[in-house]
């Protein structure tokens, strides 16, 4: 064979094996990682969003950057229950219409009755299995609580009760539940 043909055969062989070599180099094998060129990206210290940082004894809640826009459609100004109790007013306070009460009853049945019971006595299906029982919504303490405080508890949670802001996102639905609770209190004289 002459030099030109041998050189051409060598070049063709290299070019035909090059794609196979590149494809084979992409996989390091079963249950093995590929070659990592930037190890710093994979070995960085990370924080769980709702975890606890042992180094500074604080939760890992990250403060949003300045100027960021909240995902919440409702602007909620009250960070403490006492602020909401004093300042938050029920826009449906005098609106005990059938539509508002029916909406409140439906939502109460879905989200509240499991713990607080159908009549609000705190004897729901789940309450029997709880170590700390949910409060009766007919109690004197809840009767004398402002609508703003109850709204705050639905939105932010309190004690063992978590926030229901995601389950009941519309403020008017939360107020409807409060109006329904107030009707339960009016028509049931059982104080627990």
pLDDT value for 43: 65
User: Is the four-CA dihedral 157, 163, 169, 174 of positive or negative sign?
Assistant: negative
Q: What is the DSSP string of 26-69?
A: T---TT-PPPPS-HHHHS-----TT-EETTTTEE-PPPPPTTPP
Whole-prediction pTM = 0.61
In a domain, 58, yes or no: no
Lookup: tokens for 39 = 């190890």
In a domain, 25, yes or no: no
Q: What is the domain range of residue 127?
A: 81-187
> What does the alpha-carbon distance between residue 133 and residue 127 come to, in Å, rounded to a whole number?
6
CATH code for position 179: 1.10.760.10
Domains contained in the chain, number: 1
Q: What is the pLDDT of residues 141-163, one digit of tens each?
A: 999 999 999 999 999 999 889 99
**Summary mean pLDDT of the chain:** 82
């Amino acid at each position: 064979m002459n030099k030109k043909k041998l050189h051409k055969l060598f070049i063709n062989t290299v070019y035909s094996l090059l794609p196979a070599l590149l494809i084979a180099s992409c996989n390091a094998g079963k249950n093995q990682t590929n070659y990592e060129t930037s190890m710093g990206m994979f070995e960085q210290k990370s924080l769980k969003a709702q975890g606890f940082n042992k180094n500074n004894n604080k939760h890992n809640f990250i403060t949003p950057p300045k100027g960021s826009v909240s995902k919440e459609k409702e602007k909620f100004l009250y960070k403490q229950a006492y602020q909401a109790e004093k300042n938050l007013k029920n826009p449906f306070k005098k609106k005990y219409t059938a539509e508002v009460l029916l909406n409140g009853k439906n939502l109460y049945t879905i989200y509240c009755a499991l713990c607080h019971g159908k009549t609000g006595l705190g004897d729901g299906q789940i309450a029997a299995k709880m170590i700390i029982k949910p409060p009766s919504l007919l109690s004197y303490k809840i009767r004398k609580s402002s609508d703003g405080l109850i709204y705050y508890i639905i939105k932010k949670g309190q004690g063992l009760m978590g926030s229901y802001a995601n389950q009941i996102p519309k403020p008017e639905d939360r107020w409807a539940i409060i109006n329904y609770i107030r009707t339960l209190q009016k028509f049931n004289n059982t104080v627990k």
